[in-house]
Every structure is written in C-alpha cells, then in structure tokens.
Amino acid sequence: MRVVIAEDSVLLREGLVRLLGEIGAEVCAAVGDGVELLKAVDEHVPDLLITDVRMPPSHRDEGLKAALKVRAKHPKVAVMVLSQYVELSYASELLAGASSGAGLGYLLKDRVARFEDFSEAISRIAAGATVIDPEVIGALFANRTAADPLRSLSPRESEVLGLMAQGLTNAGIARAIVVSAGAVEKHIGAIFTKLGLHPGPDDHRRVLAVLAFLQDRS
C-alpha cells in the first residue's frame, strides 16, 4: 500500500511515517500543507491519502479542500481525514461522495486509542470501505434541520445506523447490540424505507443511509 501523508505537525507527521512503515506501507511523501499535498498526489498517485483538516497558510480547512480536489481528479485514491476537528462546511461534501469513489474515512485524533484499531481502519479504507467516527456523524446530524428524515428513526435504528457508519457487518452489529442477525436486518430495512433508499446495481445503500442527512444541506 502506497501512502501520501499531509500533516503540518512535524512530530505527528514523522510518527505516522514510522507507524505506517511498521505495517508494511510505503510512504511516498509526507508534506505539511495543502499545496504540497496536491503535488504529491499528482506525482505519486498513491493508494491512500491521509490528511489533516487544518494546515497552512490559514490553518482552517486546507486539508479538506485539497481532499475534495483529490477525489475529483483521482477517484481511485482512498482518503482518510485524520483531525482534531469536525469541519462541517466541507466534510459533508466530501462524505457525500463516499458511495461513488474509493475508500473514505474521517477519524478524530483524540479518539484513536489503539494503533491496532488505527491500522485496521487504514486497511479497510484502502480496501474501499467507509469508516466514519461516530462523533463526526453526531456533529453532522446536529447540523441538520428538524425536517430531516433521519429524525424519524427510532433510537435503536439510529444506533444501528451509527454502527453501519463504522463499517460493521450485520453480524458485527448484532454482536455489538446483542440481538439476532434477523433483528439487525429488520432494523436496516426500516432505515432504508424511512430514508427512501431503494436497491441499486451496486447496492451502496449502507453508505447512502449514513450519508443521507448530508443531502439538501441547510
């Protein structure tokens, strides 16, 4: 797996380089701003881009803006956003394209408790999965209007949706909330129905269900 890292903190950037080396990943470039990020991706076309949100020169949303450009120009490059912040203005736009491109993730630095979990998330995203921290989902949910169809979900359906966002299979969700696989299937079916999601040729409804609230943003 070939990786480009964009992180303005030198210590964290070098730490990521070493950690990725331990799992056998090849770090093609490790840069500190959005401009260099785009140059590195164009040059190396990696399997995965890991980027922070806030980087020079404004330290606001350069990483997310650059990630959006990468998704548009290099749709086969998986993207992991790794940040302390949930940047609503561009996060929703980035995540809304999750079903149509390569793997995508949005993780919060402070909530990565074990390297094993981080390594697993990297592998899943590089393989095409969508991995979103529940706190990111919560922040985006809170930004929705009262008319959002997601508000029609029951507490259990909302819980199942959150676990779906973490990439769990039906069996994994069943274990997490201690119910049968059949019960999980019923909950997921209800979620799809309430959100008006119908089967498609690639059946991306699991991702679309998580990201439905990103449409028609207020």
Q: Tell me what pLDDT residue 98 has.
A: 60
Residue 113 has a CB neighbour count (10 Å cut-off) of 8
**13-49 burial, b if ≥16 CB within 10 A, otherwise e?**
beebbeebeeeebebbbbbbbbebbbebbeebebbbb
Q: Tell me what pLDDT residue 65 has.
A: 87
Q: Tell me what pLDDT residue 15 has.
A: 92
Cα separation of 185 and 160, whole Å?
10
Q: How many residues does the chain have?
A: 218
CA 179 to chain centre: 26
Cα separation of 139 and 141, whole Å?
5
Regions in the chain scoring below 70 on pLDDT = 88-90, 92, 96-101, 140-149, 198-204, 207, 210-218
**For the chain, percent of residues with pLDDT exceeding 70:** 82
Q: Tell me what pLDDT residue 81 has.
A: 93
Cα separation of 8 and 33, whole Å?
6
Cβ neighbours for 53, distance < 8 A, ≥ 6 positions apart: 61, 62, 63, 64, 81, 83, 84, 85, 87
Q: Tell me what pLDDT residue 135 has.
A: 79
Q: Tell me what pLDDT residue 214 has.
A: 47
Q: Tell me what pLDDT residue 80 has.
A: 94
Q: Are 91 and 136 in contact (CB under 8 A)?
A: yes
Ordered by where they begin, the domains of the chain are 1-143 (3.40.50.2300), 145-218 (1.10.10.10)
Q: Which two tokens stand for residue 173?
A: 């969700």
Q: Tell me what pLDDT residue 99 has.
A: 55
131-to-90, 94, 103, 127, 168 alpha-carbon distances in Å:
17, 13, 8, 11, 9
Global pTM exceeds 0.85: no
Q: Are 145 and 218 in contact (CB under 8 A)?
A: yes
**Prior bond to 57 cis, omega within 30?**
yes
